Structure 1
Amino acid sequence: MGPSQDLDDLLRRCTVRLRVPQDESQGTGFWIAPGLLLTCAHVVETAHARSVPVEIALDQGIYPGRIVEFLSKPYPDLALLRCDDVRDHPCVYLHSDIALGDGLYSYGYTDQYPRGDSATFAYEGPTDAGSGSLLKLKQGQSRPGLSGAPLLNLRTGGVCGIVKSSRDRDSDLGGRAVPLACIPSGYDLPSLQQSFHQRHGDWLDCLNAEQRGWVPWKTPPAGNPFYGESPTLLGRDDETRRILEKLQAGGHCSIVGPSGSGKTLLLRELRRQVKSRFGWRDSEIGSLNFRLIGSLHELKQEIVNHLGGQKPNEIKSLLRRKPLRLLLLDDVGGLEAGQRGYEMRRWLRGLSQDEHCPLKLVAVSNERLEFLFRKDDPARDSPFADLDPVPVELPPLAPAVCRQLVQQRLAGAAFHIARFEDLFSVSRQPRELLHQCAVRYEELRRDRP
């Protein structure tokens, strides 16, 4: 199981690119509390040795970071940075639990992709590092620059470690990570984490019910009707109709919307409606989560698994016997922007153009496809560039729909909808609306006699 698309995006927004100008080294760090960053000590060792600040690169500019804790390599190889010049940033949710085979996701600023790159791993077990244990990772590529990146456990929804090193930088052999137990205890991180995430519900909003059960402290979501997934899709009838019309006309479809616009819920509703409208069976509708697919081999294996096969080389014979009619491509932006990603996009596009395979693609992304993969091939457009020239975009919900959504959540709750009226007087994306309402609900609950 992968993270929700919102959690995937939120983790990326919690990361920063770190640079030490004196030796031009760079790596990754991530926010763990207001003004507090965590990274690997070897990423910033030159800055520590020369007592100079570290450059923190964000979209809005470069900010100085001051090293406040430095635990040198080889173990545990951790550093804490303080930056008081950046406000209103998100923070990861830390949870140390990890078990054999857990799927893991990371994001950092590598030598090949300094603007950001994703990586997935599986947990293989502990490594005895002499002074303590490291987390041993497999089935993923850890490039230089990923050091210091957060390691998200897809089972718990929490960050369980910090990427430290590669086992082979040019292959998917894996790497090693530092467990959370090594973080210096002087900053009372559990209290800082609890305080932050109870005031800012973004991360906890993204967790499913099972993951929320792993949260060790009592949180507002327990009795707040504005947390959790919506039971039904509201306000996207026109978008759903347009998607179905494109598919009925024999075309592909691109769905574009920002984080929190309801893309995942829309895909779920679309799956239900195509089965009803076109009479397609579940076996004829495949779903691919590109947060967890890192190569063409893995892509083919996912489709083969869906079709009931075992090996990727069976795919052509399987498709002749069990044709796929629709592939739902979730979080297309999670595809690597380089050669491996290009191979996957080219293969998928070729599959959809095969005259013996009546396959249609529905691609979901935060950006338009013609902009998302501009670097695929400088000499030509991306294989996905003309998939759907007029994508279905998800605008903010109109005030009337926002009211309907709030009313749906308040059914049986203690407070009247009038107490939330100012929040749905303007158009909003659903996640933004629900978060604002959740905050209001907690304020009302605290003030209630």
Structure 2
Amino acid sequence: MLNLKDATVSLMDSDSQICGSGFLVKDGYLLTCAHVVNKAGGPEQPLTMRFQGQENTVSAAVAVDGWHPQEDVAILQLEADPPAGIQPLPLGVCRECGGHAFTAFGYPEVGDYHGILAAGQIIGPVEKEDGRGMLQLASANLARGHSGGALFAENQQRVVGMIVEVYHPDASGKHRDTAFAIPTETIWRLFPALQPASSVLNPFFFPGRINNPAQFFGRQRLLREVKGSLKQGSSVSLVGKPQMGKSSFLYYLYCTRETWLPDKTVVFLDLQQVLDERDFCEELLGHLGEEGDSLRELKRALRQRDLLLILDEVERLAEDDFNPRLHDLLRALAQEPHFAMCLASQQPLTEVFPARTPGGVSPFHNIFVTKEIGPFSEENARGLLLSGLQGTPVQFTAAEIEQLLADSEGHPARLQQMAYALFNQYTR
């Protein structure tokens, strides 16, 4: 990852108190929020800041045409060159970044730490009441001091926005991990000089789940087998090591459900986002248009429901805050003709959910068709590279493709990361 910290500054007021964050983007220009500038002294005053890890402060002023308080954007221009070795962060488009991971760095008040990392997920684009487009974020560790900081999208390895607002939950605790960012497209519209001359989007490296079905590649034989089993009413257990594409596979099944299972209700749940058993029941019932948060209410709702339940990260159900009665309920339902499941785990289900009594068997013993998901075949790996390059001005050489195939050994995440790095060498 590019050095996000080095390119980040802390803006200070006249008492040397940190007011927020900013970051270097291009030709001595910095981005920050207008409200951070106001706290630091206002747009008419010289502004003092310090690059992360540097002893000396630097000065900047609001650039000509760089003050946009209505959008909460300020573009600053340094009075001198930035410290040696500090590189500006590249800006990228925010399209198709929904569902992907991000990293941020800023200066919230956390003990005696100077600068704190934050991470989370870009949920997707939203609009304010006045029509301004924003990016909604989910993060448990973003705080007010991150305002003005860069929103670094891991899938693009570029900044796709600027952190602007961290939401404080209401009395019920809703939206406690919600924040918002201004997308780069807004910044480019306000200050076109920051737009790169060439914006070639790197087609590789999708850490985490692929949310766009058009970007899903390969696994055609496994898809046929899994779909065939599910159409027949059998439940399927998908087993594979981390980063083999289990989450993307399940979500692709869900997104394309209308094309292969149009007459059945299909629900997808990522169990990493489920807090406990009550939350699981409430989430599933909510997807079915029902109210409630108990196993009893869930049992009644599922008794005659024609349903395919897709569960990612199913290990979560084996943790102590889930009642074994839930496992028994799912086992019983899986034997009914109207109910099927497709679960993803790193280990076989009989190991994830072992027998609860000596001499007993796992609650999920002998009720699932087990399918393994492993590295790409050479054909699939080569096809991923070639399809990714279509529509771009970049073409890898035959030798480069062979090297990528050999070094990645068909591991999906590793192949994407290596292809991403090679693509960047062509576009720098």
Aligned to 1:292: 273
8 A contact 1:329–1:364 mirrored in 2: yes
* Residue 244 of structure 1 pairs with residue 222 of structure 2: no
Measure the CA separation in 1 of the matches of 2:297 and 2:263: 23
Q: Structure 1: 5+ residue runs without aligned partners?
A: 1-31, 34-90, 99-131, 135-149, 162-178, 183-189
User: Shift of residue 215 of structure 1?
Assistant: 9.9
Aligned to 2:237: 254
Instruction: Give the 4+ runs in structure 1 shifted more than 6 A.
Output: 205-213, 215-222
8 A contact 2:375–2:409 mirrored in 1: yes
Over 3 Å counting, the alpha-carbon distance change for 1:395 and 1:153 in structure 2 is closer
Over 3 Å counting, the alpha-carbon distance change for 1:268 and 1:153 in structure 2 is closer
What SS does structure 1 have at the residue aligned with 2:249? helix
Aligned to 2:391: 412
Measure the CA separation in 2 of the matches of 1:347 and 1:380: 17
Q: Larger radius of gyration, structure 1 or 2? A: 2
What SS does structure 1 have at the residue aligned with 2:272? coil
* Residue 428 of structure 1 pairs with residue 410 of structure 2: yes
Q: Under a length normalisation based on structure 1, what TM-score does the superposition of the two structures give?
A: 0.50
Measure the CA separation in 2 of the matches of 1:268 and 1:206: 23
User: Shift of residue 392 of structure 1?
Assistant: 0.9
Over 3 Å counting, the alpha-carbon distance change for 1:278 and 1:366 in structure 2 is same
Over 3 Å counting, the alpha-carbon distance change for 1:429 and 1:249 in structure 2 is same
Aligned to 1:397: 376
Aligned to 1:122: none
Over 3 Å counting, the alpha-carbon distance change for 1:252 and 1:302 in structure 2 is same
Relative to total residues, which structure has the larger helix share, 1 or 2? 1
* Residue 233 of structure 1 pairs with residue 211 of structure 2: no
Over 3 Å counting, the alpha-carbon distance change for 1:93 and 1:279 in structure 2 is closer
* Residue 334 of structure 1 pairs with residue 316 of structure 2: yes
8 A contact 2:104–2:118 mirrored in 1: no
Measure the CA separation in 1 of the matches of 2:107 and 2:237: 37
What SS does structure 1 have at the residue aligned with 2:242? coil
What SS does structure 1 have at the residue aligned with 2:343? strand
**In structure 1, what residue type is equivalent to 2:344?**
V
Measure the CA separation in 2 of the matches of 1:339 and 1:378: 22
8 A contact 1:250–1:360 mirrored in 2: yes
Q: Deviations over 1:328-350 (max 9, x none)?
A: 01111233432526343333223
8 A contact 1:274–1:280 mirrored in 2: no
Q: Structure 2: 5+ residue runs without aligned partners?
A: 6-100, 112-116, 124-136, 164-179, 185-193
Measure the CA separation in 2 of the matches of 1:372 and 1:206: 35
Over 3 Å counting, the alpha-carbon distance change for 1:205 and 1:394 in structure 2 is farther
Aligned to 1:270: 253
Measure the CA separation in 2 of the matches of 1:181 and 1:373: 43
Q: Under a length normalisation based on structure 2, what TM-score does the superposition of the two structures give?
A: 0.52
Counting only pairs closer than 5 Å after superposition, residues 147-296 of structure 1 correspond to structure 2 as 153-154=120-121, 156=137, 160=141, 203-204=154-155, 223-228=201-206, 229=210, 231-271=214-254, 275-281=258-264, 284-296=265-277
Measure the CA separation in 2 of the matches of 1:157 and 1:300: 22
Over 3 Å counting, the alpha-carbon distance change for 1:208 and 1:348 in structure 2 is farther
8 A contact 1:324–1:359 mirrored in 2: yes
Over 3 Å counting, the alpha-carbon distance change for 1:288 and 1:248 in structure 2 is same
| Equivalent in 285, 289, 309 of residue 308 of structure 1 | 289
Number of residue pairs aligned between Structure 1 and Structure 2: 274
Over 3 Å counting, the alpha-carbon distance change for 1:159 and 1:252 in structure 2 is same
Aligned to 2:9: none
Measure the CA separation in 2 of the matches of 1:351 and 1:221: 51
8 A contact 1:255–1:391 mirrored in 2: yes
Aligned to 2:331: 349
